[in-house]
Structures are given as C-alpha cells and as structure tokens.
Amino acid sequence: MQFDAALAAQETFRRAEAELGSDWDTAVELEETFSSNAGATAREAYESLLSLAARYPQAHSFQAFCIFITWQQVTEETIAHHFQTGLRLCETFLASPDGKHRADVEQITELYGSFRDGLGLDEEDEIQVEFRRDTPKGGD
C-alpha cells in the first residue's frame, strides 16, 4: 500500500466529529478502547464502532475510518471475516464517491484491492486456467 492505514484512520476520525453529533463522545471512548487494547477488548470496541457507523451511513469520514481500522483488524487477526467486512465496507463507501475526500476514495480503492486479494478473489485456480486454455477463441 502507498499509505499508512493507521495514520489515515487518525485523520478520518478527526474529521468525523462533525458527522457524529451527540454520538461523538461515544465514538471517542470506543476508539480509545480499540487503540489502547488488544484481543477481545479491542475486538468488542471495533464491533461497537462498526455498529455506530451503521447508524450514520452518510458520515463519510467515519465510514472511511471504519474501513481503515478494519485493515488494522486484518493485520492483527488475519481471518476471512475481517477481509469480508472490509470488502463490504469498501463497496458501500465506493458506490458513490460524491461528497467524499478524494484521498479517502483513492486509499479505500487501494484497500478494496487488498481485501479482494486477501480473499483470493482475483486469483484463478488451476481448473480456471485450464478451462481458459481449452476454450475456443473467436470464430464460429
């Protein structure tokens, strides 16, 4: 990746204050718990942040923050669930780039590819390669 997801998360989180209104204090508390812990405690805070984000679908900076911390989850605990969550969040975010910071869109587009790669979605298996080789090209 051409950027640091942790730094991007910090930047987008700062911008999210205006988007979350009365839930900002809750978000700060959850982010502090997420950032300063590991294991189950961090995972619970992470899940709570995602739940909060679901209540604010137009909070673009907060949505971007959640994508960046999902990448942090991937690096902490490399399991398919985190890749799938990241993929879903990216697809939702990128569905409409209107009103979003250009840098966020560019970085999340790059992360989208990383989440896809982590799930092996861009790889062809041996059977697919052989099928492509054996399929007639053009003509009748």
Q: Rounded to 5 degrees, what angle do the CA atoms 87, 121, 5 make?
A: 40
**Which pTM value belongs to this model?**
0.84
Closest CA to 112 of 94, 128, 126: 94
Which pLDDT belongs to residue 137? 57
pLDDT for the residue 91: 96
76 neighbors 43 (Cβ within 8 angstroms)? no
The pLDDT of residue 97: 76
CB 23 within 8 A of CB 52: yes
HSE-CB of 139 using CA atoms within 13 angstroms:
3
Structure tokens at 127: 């059977």
pLDDT at 131: 53
- The tokens describing 136, both together, are 């007639």
Give the tens place of pLDDT for each residue, 32-69.
Answer: 999 999 889 999 999 999 999 999 999 999 999 999 99
Regions in the chain scoring below 50 on pLDDT: 140
Q: What per-residue confidence (pLDDT) applies to 124?
A: 53
Residue 101's pLDDT is 94
- Ramachandran area for residue 3 (φ above 0: left; ψ -120 to 50: alpha; else beta): beta
Given this model, what pLDDT does residue 140 score?
A: 45
